[in-house]
């Protein structure tokens, strides 16, 4: 079987690495940064500390959990006004996704709307991404999830332009993440690894990253949830999320993520909880179509079967207070949810592209 694997992002990993941001940027020849950090990090001083390390006082934080294209226009204008030659994006998926999008808008001069609905040129300011949660993997993927609040559209945009120049992964940045967010981001990362493994485009390199990612994530998620200050658990979670990102960056995700978009948009579930919602279900369903590979994956993690691995995911969801029934999320129309999930493009990357009827039957069990 032929395949290729490439990963353009330079990775710097280690506790305290954020302090080297200025040095890292200078090593690339960069001089002036615009820092993009969410409001929480602006308020708790982390954004200011990183801006200081990056040698700038330009911080943009006027955006929410689902970054809007209007915020991208505002930030791109600031980047041009201060003649920024790179973007430092600090935060969870939202800040990093926005930073990558702003980098293209600022460099090309195109409006965010033009980019969101049109082609994305392979041209942007370099981005240095610092994740503050262990989950999205956005620091090593070419994906940016953006929203157009005016028209009610949210979508993942994929482009080589959305690869950061460097990812600086400092597990210390995750020490203050609250337990529930630790759990949802952790299950998002577990979903990235599992989906990279079972999706149609998987390859031996992504498989190896996925197996190692799962080992770290399953081994540390309880410890990180129980005691957020456990730096060894946080380090394993950060490394696991990074490896999961490296696994799915070239393969993309599949059924679980296809369903996560309608679940987030329709019922307000945070991304990680929306992924966790169907992860155990698809693990059981997909293992009927590729029992050999998924049993082998489960065994690498110390589980007797794919079903036993699904049981472990259910246990984590229950322990951490995630919703797991249609009633709990307020969904009464199974057929319409199933239709939206079935037509999502990522469903085609699943080991089997389930029909709306198959999904409706499966979701019927989530009562
Ligand atoms: Zn995800």
Domain residue ranges of the chain, discontinuous segments joined by +: 10-173, 182-366
Res 280: pLDDT: 98
Distance 260 CA to ligand 1 centre (A): 8
Neighbours of ion ligand 1 (CB under 5 A): 188
The CATH class of 10-173 is alpha beta
H/E element holding 111? none
- pLDDT score for 114: 97
Low-confidence residues in the chain, pLDDT < 50: none
Ligand 1 geometric centre to CA of 156 (Å): 10
Q: How many whole angstroms separate alpha carbon 210 and alpha carbon 192?
A: 8
Distance 345 CA to ligand 1 centre (A): 15
Q: Report CA(205)–ligand 1 centroid distance (Å).
A: 20
What is the CA(32)–ligand 1 centre distance, in A?
Answer: 31
CA of 188 to the centre of ligand 1 (A): 5
In angstroms, rounded to a whole number, what is the distance separating the alpha carbons of residues 100 and 138?
9
- CA 276 – ligand 1 centroid, Å: 10
Q: Does domain 182-366 have CATH number 1.20.120.1150?
A: no
Instruction: State the pTM of this model.
Output: 0.96
Return the residue matching tokens 């630790």: 182
Render pLDDT for 67-112 as a digit per residue (tens, 0 to 9).
Answer: 999 999 999 999 999 999 999 999 999 999 999 999 999 999 999 9
C-alpha 145 – ligand 1 centre gap (Å): 10
**Torsion of Cα atoms, 170 then 173 then 177 then 181, to 10°:** -40
> Which pLDDT value is given to residue 152?
87
Tell which residue, 178, 90, 79, has the closest CA to residue 128.
Answer: 90
> What does DSSP say about strands 143-148 and 10-13: parallel, antiparallel, or unpaired?
unpaired
pLDDT of res. 2: 84
Residue 220 Cα, ligand 1 centroid: separation in angstroms? 18
Give the DSSP H/E element, type plus range, for residue 112.
Answer: helix 112-117
């Amino acid at each position: 079987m032929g395949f290729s694997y490439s990963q353009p992002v330079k990775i710097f990993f280690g506790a305290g690495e954020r302090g080297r941001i200025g040095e890292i940027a200078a090593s690339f020849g960069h001089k002036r940064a615009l820092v993009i950090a969410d409001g929480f990090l602006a308020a708790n001083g982390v954004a200011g500390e990183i801006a200081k390390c990056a040698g700038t006082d330009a911080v943009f934080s006027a955006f929410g959990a689902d970054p809007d294209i209007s915020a991208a226009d505002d930030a791109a204008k600031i980047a041009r006004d201060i003649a920024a030659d790179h973007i430092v994006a600090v935060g969870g998926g939202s800040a990093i996704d926005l930073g990558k999008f702003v980098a293209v808008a600022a460099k090309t001069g195109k409006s965010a709307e033009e980019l969101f609905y049109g082609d994305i040129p392979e041209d942007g300011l370099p981005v240095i991404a610092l994740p503050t949660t262990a989950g999205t993997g956005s620091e090593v993927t070419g994906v940016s999830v953006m929203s157009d609040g005016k028209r009610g559209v949210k979508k993942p945009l994929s482009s080589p332009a959305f690869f950061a120049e460097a990812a600086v992964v400092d597990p210390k940045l995750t020490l203050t993440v609250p337990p529930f967010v630790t759990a949802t981001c952790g299950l998002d990362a577990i979903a990235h690894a599992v989906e990279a493994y079972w999706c149609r485009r998987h390859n031996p390199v992504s498989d190896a990253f996925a197996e190692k990612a799962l080992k770290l994530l399953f081994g540390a998620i309880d410890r990180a949830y129980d005691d957020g200050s456990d730096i060894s658990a946080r380090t394993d979670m950060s490394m696991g999320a990074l490896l999961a990102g490296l696994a799915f960056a070239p393969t993309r995700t599949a059924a679980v993520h296809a369903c996560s978009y309608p679940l987030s948009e329709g019922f307000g579930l945070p991304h990680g909880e929306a992924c966790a919602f169907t992860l155990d279900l698809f693990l059981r369903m997909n293992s009927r179509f590729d029992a050999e590979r998924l049993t082998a994956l489960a065994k690498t993690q110390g589980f007797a079967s794919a079903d036993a691995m699904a049981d472990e995911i259910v246990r984590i969801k229950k322990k951490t207070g995630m919703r797991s029934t249609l009633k709990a999320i307020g969904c009464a129309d199974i057929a319409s949810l199933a239709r939206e999930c079935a037509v999502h493009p990522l469903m085609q990357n699943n080991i089997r592209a389930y029909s709306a009827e198959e999904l409706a039957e499966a979701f019927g069990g989530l009562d």
